[in-house]
Amino acid sequence: MGSWSGHGGAAAAAAAAVSWLCLAAVGVEAIGANWGTQTSHPLPPDTVVQMLKDNGFDRVKLFDAEDGTMNALKKSGLEVMVGIPNDLLATMATSMKAANNWVDQNVSSFVNDGVKIRYVAVGNEPFLETYNGSFLQTTFPAIRNIQSALVRAGLGTQVKVTCPLNADVYQSSTSKPSDGDFRTDIHDLMLTIVKFLSDTGGAFTVNIYPFISLYTDPNFPVDYAFFEGNSQPIVDGSATYTNMFDANYDTLIWALKKNGYGNLPVIVGEIGWPTDGDEHANAQLAQQFNQGFLKHIATGQGTPMRPGPVDAYLFSLIDEDEKSIQPGNFERHWGIFTYDGLPKYQLSLGSPRGLVRAKNVKYLEKKWCVLKPSVSLADTRLPDSISYACSLADCTSLGYKTSCGVLDTRSNISYAFNSFYQKNDQDDVACGFSNLATTTGQDPSTGTCRFGIMIEVDSAFSWKLQHNRSNYFLMLLLVLLQLCLSFS
């Protein structure tokens, strides 16, 4: 650094400019983020849209088309993939009218208002084996009807249909991508969908999760999940694979190619790494994975079977505290940002600043709920109180090798109580626990373990108000009805 002094100022500025240009040039390859909303306390949509822009994302993938979200995306310049949840597939499949209405209300109106909708994701991983085939009959007809509705609305060229699928829809009988093909139980269905996507100019969207492979298979070679090239290579003809992403992606390309669709565009709908809730889920590994992936796709080289740019959406933008933990405790911790919009680690997405926090986040008071120091750990009321708190709030950061895994028993209990208290907007009643708990102004956070303070949510408040109001209306109606009946 010393040699830069003297005329260093200008030289450093020039170097910074050059490296910025290089980053910008490399970063031209667009990167997207998934914006899920299974949260008890969502950040305001305008705040999230600003976050996306401030952090260099240029596209966003949604799981629905909520008004608040869509309104915030107006004139944002961000490209948008809207989603139709699985529970609407049956309706979309059986009613052309419903499909037309969905497109009119959730696509056309927003396109007219300046939202850059590029894709409609019909369903979300509908063929997951855990769904027991519930959506096998309805997914394709729903795709077809939504496509017709888009054409009818005059959006056929501007907005394409796709269907985000888990990578379990294809497989290879060996470790080699070239042995890839679609899963046998849905092979014909996959070909019907793939042909339709190909005919209509759509894209195949696939979610790829090396983390899940590592989570479910204790013998999975850890290095193979990452992009450093440190793992034992898999040689497949002239191609060599040192990371699971490339091999998995190319297994799909082989499956497509084998069935005559080798040129179908592919979108990586979800890719990412969680930061808590499992021994392999932490900020350091998440940073390593996501940065490795970004660096990998920024080269523009693609994979051996599909050279060129990779179109991808990171999973996920923000933690979601109300996701089901049936897949595992990590499920609520996929965010690059915490529930309140703080970056969990640094990532260079093409913006030279790195990640920046959400702006103007409003917090509740600096108050926490903790176990009363006077309570004995032998108190028999404790176990029920803890399970009550954990079942309704979030204790997924407690456990073996998690962010709060090293807490002593008292702090552990406090964590559970505080989680419940914050989730209930610091309501005094929510720090009762049969008088075992008390509030404190002193932050109990230590090391990696964060005792959060909840954010203010305007919409939650108005939702409650509306809720109460609709109760009044209902009561009023009932009273009127009774009056009518008694007069007739």
Ligand X SMILES: *[C@@H]1O[C@H](CO)[C@@H](O)[C@H](O)[C@H]1NC(C)=O
Active site members: 125, 270
Nearest residue to 170 (alpha-carbon basis) of 252, 256, 264, 263? 252
Q: Which of residues 328-347 bind ligand X (CB under 6 A)?
A: none
66 binds ligand X (CB under 6 A): yes
324 binds ligand X (CB under 6 A): no
Closer of 106 and 303 to ligand X (Cβ): 106
105 binds ligand X (CB under 6 A): yes
- Which member of 39, 76, 106, 385 binds ligand X (CB under 6 A)? 106
409 binds ligand X (CB under 6 A): yes
Residue with tokens 């950040």: 43
111 binds ligand X (CB under 6 A): no
- Which member of 398, 453, 454, 457 binds ligand X (CB under 6 A)? 398
Shortest spacing between CB 255 and ligand X, in angstroms: 26
Shortest spacing between CB 244 and ligand X, in angstroms: 27
Shortest spacing between CB 92 and ligand X, in angstroms: 8
395 binds ligand X (CB under 6 A): yes
Shortest spacing between CB 262 and ligand X, in angstroms: 34
CA distance 89 to 144: 11
Q: Tell me which stretch binds ligand X (CB under 6 A): 62-70, 184-192, 218-226, 289-297.
A: 62-70
Shortest spacing between CB 58 and ligand X, in angstroms: 23
- Which member of 96, 356, 390, 460 binds ligand X (CB under 6 A)? 390
Q: What is the 3-class SS of the chain, one letter each residue?
A: CHHHCCCHHHHHHHHHHHHHHHHHHHCCCCEEEEECCCCCCCCCHHHHHHHHHHCCCCEEEECCCCHHHHHHHCCCCCEEEEEECHHHHHHHHHCHHHHHHHHHHHHHHHHHCCCEEEEEEECCCCCCHHHCCCCCCCHHHHHHHHHHHHHHCCCCCCCEEECEEEHHHEEECCCCHHHEEECHHHHHHHHHHHHHHHHCCCCEEEECCHHHHHHHCCCCCHHHHCCCCCCCCEEECCEEECCHHHHHHHHHHHHHHHCCCCCCCEEEEEECCCCCCECCECHHHHHHHHHHHHHHHHCCCCECCECCCCEEEECCCECCCCCCCCCCHHHHCCCCECCCCCECCCCCCCCCCCCCCCCCCCECCCCEEEECCCCCCCCCCHHHHHHHHHHHCCCCCCCCCCCCCCCCHHHHHHHHHHHHHHHCCCCHHHHCCCCCEEEECCCCCECCECCCCCECCHHHHHHHHHHHHHHHHHHHHHHHHHHHHHHC
Q: Tell me which stretch binds ligand X (CB under 6 A): 7-15, 33-41, 45-53, 99-107.
A: 99-107
418 binds ligand X (CB under 6 A): no
- Which member of 74, 295, 359, 464 binds ligand X (CB under 6 A)? 464
**What sign results for the dihedral spanned by CA atoms 149, 154, 157, 159?**
negative
Closer of 299 and 466 to ligand X (Cβ): 466
CA distance 160 to 176: 32
412 binds ligand X (CB under 6 A): yes
463 binds ligand X (CB under 6 A): no
Closer of 19 and 105 to ligand X (Cβ): 105
- Which member of 54, 64, 179, 322 binds ligand X (CB under 6 A)? 64
Q: Tell me which stretch binds ligand X (CB under 6 A): 4-12, 101-109, 147-155, 290-298.
A: 101-109
Shortest spacing between CB 135 and ligand X, in angstroms: 10
- Which member of 346, 391, 446, 468 binds ligand X (CB under 6 A)? 468
Q: Tell me which stretch binds ligand X (CB under 6 A): 60-68, 142-150, 176-184, 350-358.
A: 60-68
- Which member of 65, 93, 161, 436 binds ligand X (CB under 6 A)? 65
| Assigned token pair, 196 | 């339709």
Q: Which of residues 121-180 bind ligand X (CB under 6 A)?
A: 131-132, 134
Shortest spacing between CB 123 and ligand X, in angstroms: 13
Closer of 312 and 386 to ligand X (Cβ): 386
What is the binding site for ligand X (CB under 6 A)? 64-66, 101-102, 105-106, 131-132, 134, 386, 390, 395, 398-399, 409, 412, 416, 464-465, 468
